[in-house]
Structure 1
Amino acid sequence: MAKATKKRPTRKPYTAADIKLLKQHSKAKTPVSKLAKLMKRSEGSLRQKAGTLGIGLGHQR
C-alpha cells in the first residue's frame, strides 16, 4: 500500500492592496501579532516582506 504524502502549503502572493495595507500599518506602528491576524499571514512572512520593501514593522526601537 502506498504511503500518503503530505500536502505542501501553497504560498499566497502579495497583492498591491496587501502591500499598501502593510505600508499603512508600518507607519501606524501596529504590532506585528495584530497585523498577522488581520492579514491572515504569519509574522515571519510579514517581516520578510517588509524587509524586502525596506520598511520597518512593529514598534521599531
Structure 2
Amino acid sequence: MAKKAKKPIGRRDYTPGDLKMLRAHSKAKTPVAKIAKQMKRTEGSLRQKAIKLGIGLGHQR
C-alpha cells in the first residue's frame, strides 16, 4: 500500500491587526486558550510571537 502524502503546513503571517489584538489581550490578561480559539492559532504560536514582541501573555497563578 502506498504512503499518503503529508498535508503541507498552512502557515499564516501575522497581520498588523493580529498584533494589535494580541497586545490588547496581553493587557487584559486573557487566557491563552481563549485567544487561540478566537484567532484560530495554536497556543504555542501565540506564545512564541509574544516572546518576540516582548509582551506577556495570559495570566500567572
The two structures have a TM-score, normalised by structure 2, of 0.89
Q: Does 1:55 align with 2:58?
A: no
* Distance in 1, Cα, partners of 2:27 & 2:14: 19
Counterpart of 1:34 in structure 2 is 34
The two structures have a TM-score, normalised by structure 1, of 0.89
Counterpart of 1:10 in structure 2 is 10
Structure 1: gaps of 5 or more residues: none
Counterpart of 1:45 in structure 2 is 45
| Structure 1 consecutive aligned stretches of length 4 or more whose deviation exceeds 4 Å | none
RMSD of equivalent CA atoms: 1.5
Structure 2: gaps of 5 or more residues: none
Q: Percent identity?
A: 69
Pairs aligned (count): 61
